[in-house]
A and B are shown apart, each in its own frame.
Chain A
Amino acid sequence: MTAMSFVYLAAILFAIGAAAVLLRRNAIVAFMGVELMLNAANLALVAFAHMYAELDGQIMAFFVLVVAAAEVVVGLAIIIALFRARQTISLDEPAELKG
């Protein structure tokens, strides 16, 4: 069994994350779906790095980790600001914006 199986696993996790983003209307849950997608990409990077006996893939995964953390900070700040104004975080509650 090679590390390739982990790439398959990453693809499945990526698809599950994407499904959550498309399906869920709770902003926080949709956001967690995005986090799962980023982690799936990380898993793929580490698996490829292992196959190629390189460090670069791991370094890239490290950068993604930092960027994702910064993104979470901003995203949750926006969600809290919106919650203070609307008392709900559903993505299609009183839709002020029309599609």
Chain B
Amino acid sequence: MVNEVLFWTVALLTVIPSLALIFAKRPVHIAMSIVLVMVGLAAAYVGMGAPFLGMVQIVVYTGAVMMMFLFVLMLVGVDNAEDLRETIKGQKWIAFAAAGGLAILLIAVIGDATIEPRTGDVVGNPEEIAMVLFSEYVLVMEVLGFLLITAAVGALVLTHVPRLTPRRTQVELQAARVAAGADPVNKPMPGVYARHNALDVPALDPEGNPIEDSVSRVLEVRHQTQDGAEFRAQLEDTDNPDHEARPHGAPSRDSDTRNTREGEEPK
């Protein structure tokens, strides 16, 4: 006998999320729904006298297997919403018909079955399970060991990339760069003019000649550089009425002198 409330809870907790497998678009949503299904199944196991199996279900399925699925989904890109267009026409309906037919067939044959439940209460707690596992099923346990070795080796063969080139140290990297002709010191910054976003203007060397290297190569390629002559001219031109102008919003020139502090001799 099983609890009726338990059954309907489990049924709702498993069937509704599992429909995500068919209808949901994003794989991450599907994986999270399946996690819910696994928890529901664990509840069913506990309710049917299999507490150990219920716990293992939580640990192995929700804890390990589904998390592994999520890791791989993250690895291959979570935003990959699946393209639900059909390549084979009518495949969707064939699949629905096949699965629906399978469900109806299975339910029909299960309903047809005559099963006489035996009375008795067997609870699969760890001690009982271990007794059966290591007596009657010990050979299966041992073969499972070989299966796990195979799985581990297989995963390594298909995913582990060993180091193919020797690791390079900082010193080697630096020496290689200098050997390739890189400047050992920093490049000069681009020219600076206060009234212009000056990344596109070359800096000037002490003699007043522009240093072409100081401007980003990208801007050169896009032809977005300027030689700065215009701004230099503005600076040097004392006839320019804006010569003494302050940038917009800047405080007046008076504020350049700071107030005397307490106990300080005024200048």
A-side residues, CB < 8 A to B, are 1-9, 11-20, 22-26, 28-29, 31-33, 35-36, 39, 42-43, 46-47, 49-56, 58-59, 61-63, 65-74, 76-81, 83, 88-90, 92
B68 close to A36 (CB less than 8 A): no
Indicate with 1 or 0, residue by residue over B28-65, a CB within 8 angstroms of chain A CB atoms. 00110010011001001100111011001100110011
What residues of B have a CB within 8 angstroms of the CB of A54 in the complex? 122
Q: Is the CB of B65 within 8 A of A1?
A: no
Check: B76 CB closer than 8 A to any chain A CB. Answer: yes
Q: Indicate if the CB atoms of B68 and A76 lie closer than 8 Å.
A: yes
Q: Is the CB–CB distance between B34 and A35 below 8 Å?
A: yes
Q: Assuming A15-B103, A16-B18, A62-B129, is B45 touching A46 (CB within 8 A)?
A: yes
A47: chain B residues within 8 A (beta carbon): 48
What separation, in Å, do the CA atoms of A8 and B1 have in the docked complex?
A: 15
Task: Determine whether B178 belongs to the interface, using a CB cutoff of 8 Å to chain A.
Answer: no
**Is the CB–CB distance between A56 and B102 below 8 Å?**
no
By a CB distance below 8 angstroms, the chain A residues around B166 are none
15 other A-B residue contacts (CB within 8 Å) besides A12-B103, A76-B68, A83-B75: A3-B48, A8-B110, A15-B103, A16-B21, A25-B82, A31-B69, A33-B21, A43-B44, A52-B118, A53-B119, A53-B121, A65-B61, A73-B68, A74-B151, A77-B154
CB pair A46–B53 under 8 Å, yes or no, is yes
Contact indicator A18/B1 (Cβ below 8 Å):
no
The answer to whether residues A39 and B129 also contact, given A32-B31, A50-B48 and a CB cut-off of 8 A, is no
Q: B residues within 8 A CB of A19?
A: 21-22, 95-96, 98-100
Tell me, yes or no, whether B191 is within 8 Å of chain A by CB: no
Find the A residue at minimum CB distance from B59.
A65
**Smallest distance from the beta carbon of A10 to chain B beta carbons, Å?**
9
Cβ of B147 under 8 Å from chain A: yes
Contact assessment for A32 and B34 in the assembled complex, using a CB-CB cutoff below 8 Å: yes
Interface residues of B, Cβ cutoff 8 Å to A? 1-4, 7, 10-11, 14-15, 18-19, 21-22, 27, 30-31, 34, 37-38, 41, 44-45, 48-50, 52-53, 56-57, 60-61, 64-65, 68-69, 72-73, 75-76, 80, 82-83, 87, 91-92, 94-96, 98-100, 102-103, 106-107, 110-111, 115, 117-122, 124, 128-129, 132-133, 136-137, 140, 144, 147-148, 150-152, 154-155, 157-159
- Which residues in A have their C-beta under 8 angstroms from that of B115? 4, 51
Q: How far is the CB of B83 from chain A (nearest CB, A)?
A: 7
Residues of B within 8 A of A66 (CB): 60, 144, 147-148
Q: Contact at A26–B82, with CB atoms within 8 Å? A: yes
Q: Are B21 and A36 in contact (CB under 8 A)?
A: yes
In the complex, the answer to whether A13 meets B14 with C-beta atoms within 8 Å is yes
